[in-house]
Amino acid sequence: MSAISTRPREQAAPRRPAPRIRPPWWRSRGLKGIGYTLPTALVVIVLFLVPLALVFWMSLNRWPLLGSPTLNAPDNYTRIQDNPLFVDSILFTLKYTVLVTIMLLVIAFGLALLVQERRPGVGFFRTTYLLPSGVGFAAAALLFYGLYSNEIGPLDGILRGIGLIDEPIAWTGTPNTALFSTIALVIWRFAGFQMLILLTGLQSIPLELYEAARVDGASRWQAFRRITVPLMRPTLALLLVLSITGSLLAFDQFFILTQGQPDNSTITMVMVIYREAFFRFNLGSAAALSVVVLIVLVALNVLQLRILRHDRTESEPS
Amino acid sequence: MTTSTASRAARSAGFNVTGAALAVLFLFPLVWSGWSSVKGQPGSAQSSGFGFGNYRYLASYGEGVVTYLVNSTAVTAMTVAGTLLVSALGGYGFARFSFPGKNLLFLATLAILMVPYATILIPLYVLLDRLGLQNSLVGLSLVFIMFQLPFALFMMRNSFEAVPRELEEAALVDGCSTFTALRRVLLRAVRPGLVTVALFAFLASWNDFFAPLILISDASKFTMPVAVYSMQQRSFGAIDYGALEAGVVVMALPCLLAFLLLQRHYVRGFMTGALRG
């Protein structure tokens, strides 16, 4: 690499013209930079910034799926509280977010600790745990839809075979089983991905720290609590942000696997937005709900990032 | 001495048993879906024995699985090509040039990550309609390119920044334009970054469900995830689970193959992402 990077400079130096001539304005570096980033700017403006402005404008209008919109601000916002489905969905989404975030993180951390050291078989285990991340989320949800079905699903047979249950389980039949069956799907699909990020964090901890702790007589648990967890805080914080954001916006898993059932007990916020727009044909009201979700999410992200940054500055001097 | 080797052996056995048990849990759903797609099941196209009846049913379902595969492939190809083009040019621009509005544009691109999917898809549904791109695979690909852009641009900017400036200066002094230098010299140097960006764009656009669900209403333009989902929805109470799992296998197989072949690039992509915070 160094041979490539040094040789051209030696060759190049004598050829450079002695008096530096200012290039004409159309050849200036600034203009070229704009040229190269023009496609990016077009995509960001047309497909992101304009729609973002449009969603605010839509939320101020009665905007039917067909027909022309009419201004009705602030009705779309004031009517949110009269939408019991949305209010319920906030509580359900929060409950799901807390449960799935904690369970996923604990399991992924366990996996990462298990496959942390290099030894025979570790590569195979890592790949197997990561493999579900290669399956699309919707495909995974459809897969589990079959897995949990009483018609074709193998789970009842296996559990009865080893004597754990006597009666078939309605895997998505009650509010609680539906919630935890979905969480199991999400853990299967995402634990490997979180494990991977945790592994990169674990590998950046210097081994000398553990050796020093062992010399000082610290147990494995003490080393984990006093060295691993504090030094992993930035990584853990990143995963928390990703997991909380992703879970608050949950859609595919419940839309496909439980379809909001039983008794509308597993409806998430994004599912209500979808229903408002494409079943009740009220895009204005869907836009207002989207704006609310957007504001909550941005506020939450800013808050989380601030906590994360605060942690960092505190832990850095040591 | 003997106790420590004994405890090490016990720990090693514990590791292997735990690791293998978890491996079975993680592999089981995948293996089961493959198995149940060929195993006979009363009420499905393959009613008994083993065979590819479910796949034959899938081939003729709706508009035919080939139509959906072609749609998915077209969207994926356009998304991958578009993402590579935009992010390679943009990454080069951000890594090597300074121009007014540079930081603002970069921040605006990263802000895409902050905005919920649903929040941006509702207005996009209206906007694409006005642009004549409603119900269009091109429109869908454009949306996917936008969603991929924060990661892709970040990845490509870092890749270009890691290339020594001398490499490019030599070409420029030899009289190449910056574009020729990019095409002839730099693209080769950032190839690993391009592979990672392409892999992520492929996985995202092949698998995405929400965007085509909202933006595509014409059944002949469905992509695979929406088509298989419609199979689950069509017949109340009498779902052909065998065919459903066959659909899952058809969807998942290309991704698993790409994933296994390019695992190194996938892992590196997440490391770049993880270092972001």
What is the ipTM, given to two decimal places?
0.85
- DSSP structure class, residue A48: I
Residue in chain B nearest A199 by alpha carbon: B271
CB of A11 closer than 8 Å to CB of B170: yes
Say yes or no: A114 contacts chain B, CB-CB below 8 A: yes
Let me know if B1 is exposed, middle or buried by CB neighbors in 10 A (0-12, 13-18, 19+).
Answer: exposed
| B130–chain A nearest CA distance, Å | 12
Tens digit of each residue's pLDDT (9 = 90 or more) over B52-85: 777 887 777 777 788 889 999 999 999 999 999 9
Q: Is A307 on the interface with B (CB under 8 A)?
A: no
CATH ID of A79-315, from 1.10.3720.10, 2.60.40.1180, 2.60.40.420, 3.40.50.300: 1.10.3720.10
A97 touching B (Cβ < 8 Å): no
Chain B CB contacts of A270 under 8 Å are 116-118
Establish if B261 touches chain A: CB-CB under 8 angstroms. Answer: no
Which chain B residues touch A274 with a CB distance below 8 Å? Answer: 118, 214
Cβ separation of A138 and B229 shorter than 8 Å?
yes
CB distance A290–B119 less than 8 Å? yes
Measure CB to CB from residue B173 to each of A16, A125, A273 and give the nearest one.
A16
B103 inside 8 A of chain A by CB = no
Lowest mean pLDDT among A15-19, A236-240, A294-298: A15-19
Substitution target in A152, A243, A272, A289 with the highest count of B β-carbons within 10 Å is: A152
B239 interfaces chain A, CB cutoff of 8 Å: yes
Cis peptide before A262 (omega within 30 of 0): yes
- The C-alpha atoms of residue A315 and residue B1 are separated, in whole angstroms, by 40
CA-CA distance, B258 to B266, in Å (whole number)? 10
Q: Give the model's pLDDT for residue A24.
A: 58
A177-198 average pLDDT score: 90
Share of chain A above pLDDT 70, in %: 88
- Tell me the residue type at A267: I
How confident is the prediction for chain A on average, in pLDDT? Answer: 81
H or E segment to which residue B165 belongs: helix B165-173
Rounded mean pLDDT, A212-238: 85
Residue A118 has what pLDDT?
Answer: 78
B48 — contact with chain A (CB < 8 Å)?
no
Residue boundaries of the structural domains of chain A: 79-315
Region B256-274: mean pLDDT is 75
Distances (CA, A) of A121 to A114, A116, B31: 11, 12, 20
Averaged pLDDT for residues B195-211: 91
- Nearest chain B residue to A116 by CA: give it: B15
Query: What's the start-to-end Cα distance of chain A, in Å?
Result: 36
Cα dihedral sign, B30-B31-B37-B43: negative
pLDDT tens-digit series, residues A54-93: 988 888 888 877 777 877 778 778 777 778 888 888 899 9
Distance CA B200, CA B209 (A): 15
Q: Which two tokens stand for residue B140?
A: 């869908």
Rounded to an integer, the average pLDDT of B245-249 is 87
Q: For residues B192 and A311, what is the distance between their CA atoms, to the nearest angstrom? A: 34
Nearest CB to A47 within list B25, B146, B229: B146
- Judge: A37–B247 Cβ closer than 8 Å, yes or no: no
The residues near B7 (Cβ < 8 Å, ≥ 6 apart) are none
**B127 contacts A51? CB cut-off 8 A:** yes
Pick the CATH number of B53-274 from 3.40.710.10, 3.40.50.10090, 1.10.3720.10, 1.25.10.10: 1.10.3720.10
- Using CB atoms and an 8 Å cut-off, which of residues 177-236 of chain A contact chain B? 188, 192-193, 196-197, 200-201, 234-235
Burial (CB count <10 Å: 0-12, 13-18, 19+), residue A127: middle
Question: Helix, strand, coil: what percent of chain B each, to 5?
Answer: 80, 0, 20
The torsion angles phi and psi of A62, rounded to 5 degrees, stand at -80, 110
pLDDT band at A318 (very low <50, low <70, confident <90, very high): very low
Contact A48 B146 (CB under 8 A): yes
pLDDT band per the 50, 70, 90 thresholds, residue B2: low
The whole-model pTM stands at 0.84
Residue A98: HSE in the Cβ half-sphere, 13 Å Cα cutoff: 5
B27 chain-A contacts, CB cut-off 8 A: 128, 131
Q: How far apart are CA B40 and CA B61, in angstroms?
A: 18
pLDDT, mean of residues A253-280 = 84
Say whether residue A115 is in contact with chain B using an 8 A CB cutoff.
yes
- pLDDT at position B276 is 44
pLDDT category, A2, cuts 50, 70, 90? very low
Condensed to tens digits (0 to 9), the pLDDT of residues B105-146 reads: 999 998 888 888 888 998 998 899 888 888 899 999 999 999
Nearest to A114 among B15, B248, B271 (CB): B15
- Residue A17 corresponds to which amino acid? P
Q: What chain B residue is nearest to A241 in terms of C-alpha separation?
A: B277
A1 contacts in chain B (CB < 8 Å): 164
Probe site for chain A from B26, B72, B129, B186 (most A CB atoms < 10 A): B26
